[in-house]
């Protein structure tokens, strides 16, 4: 049993791929090891790792991006595909598309289960927002209402609920998706305040 830094009590063990407190998922001090991370553009040679990452990240078949879909994103000029690389290849990836009227659509954000809760998703999402800061007026994404970790991340970056896409996950659970939006001007102000 390991002690969670927040609860300061023994917490039940987590599965080996998800180190942390079983109540709040915060990293346990011994498991919190900083790793060198580089956020870079995804390349064709990342394809095998991205396919594996999709396979492990999504619990049901219908939610995973196929090999063909990933290849398409890597080839498209209109797509921004980024990876978090710890030196051994991609451990997380994100895809964003610019849409009409200055809308950045965050199409995918996935992290390898063994590399969750290390800031990769935050780094990727921040990099996507930064890359499109000059051209995007807002960013939009869809998220499962049951995915509280993602909801916390998006909220911390300034995304706010803006609606519901009914049966968005129809191929898997039939669950609705919460649509979240970020006004890019708000995000810039939030970044300035955090830097002070």
Output the tens digit of pLDDT for each of the chain's 196 residues: 343 333 333 333 333 334 444 444 544 443 444 557 899 999 999 999 998 888 887 766 556 788 898 888 888 888 899 999 988 889 999 999 998 888 999 999 989 888 888 899 999 999 999 999 888 999 999 998 888 889 999 999 999 999 988 777 666 666 788 999 999 876 664 664 465 4
Are 23 and 96 contained in the same domain? no
Asked whether residue 179 falls in the same domain as residue 90, the answer is yes
Same domain, 101 and 182: yes
pTM: 0.73
- Indicate whether 161 and 72 sit together in one domain: yes
- Residue 152: domain span: 36-195
Question: Tokens 């095998």 sit at which residue?
Answer: 48
Residues 62 and 113 in one domain: yes
Residue with tokens 């200055």: 102
Beta bridge partners of 180: 141, 161
């Amino acid at each position: 049993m390991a002690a969670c830094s927040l609860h300061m009590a023994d917490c039940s063990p987590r599965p080996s791929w998800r180190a942390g407190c079983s109540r709040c998922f915060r990293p346990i001090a011994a498991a919190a090891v900083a790793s060198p991370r580089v956020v870079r553009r995804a390349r064709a040679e990342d394809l095998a790792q991205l396919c594996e990452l999709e396979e492990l990240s999504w619990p049901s078949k219908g939610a995973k991006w196929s090999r063909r879909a990933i290849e398409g994103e890597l080839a498209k000029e209109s797509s921004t595909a980024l990876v978090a690389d710890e030196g051994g290849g991609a451990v997380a990836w994100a895809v964003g598309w610019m849409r009409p009227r200055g809308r950045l659509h965050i199409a995918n954000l996935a992290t390898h289960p063994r590399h969750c809760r290390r800031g990769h998703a935050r780094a990727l999402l921040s990099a996507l927002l930064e890359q499109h800061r000059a051209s995007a007026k807002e960013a939009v994404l869809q998220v499962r209402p049951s995915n509280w970790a993602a909801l916390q991340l998006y909220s911390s970056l300034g995304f706010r609920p803006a609606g519901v896409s009914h049966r968005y996950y129809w191929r898997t659970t039939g669950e609705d998706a919460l649509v979240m939006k970020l006004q890019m001007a708000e995000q810039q102000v939030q970044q300035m305040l955090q830097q002070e």
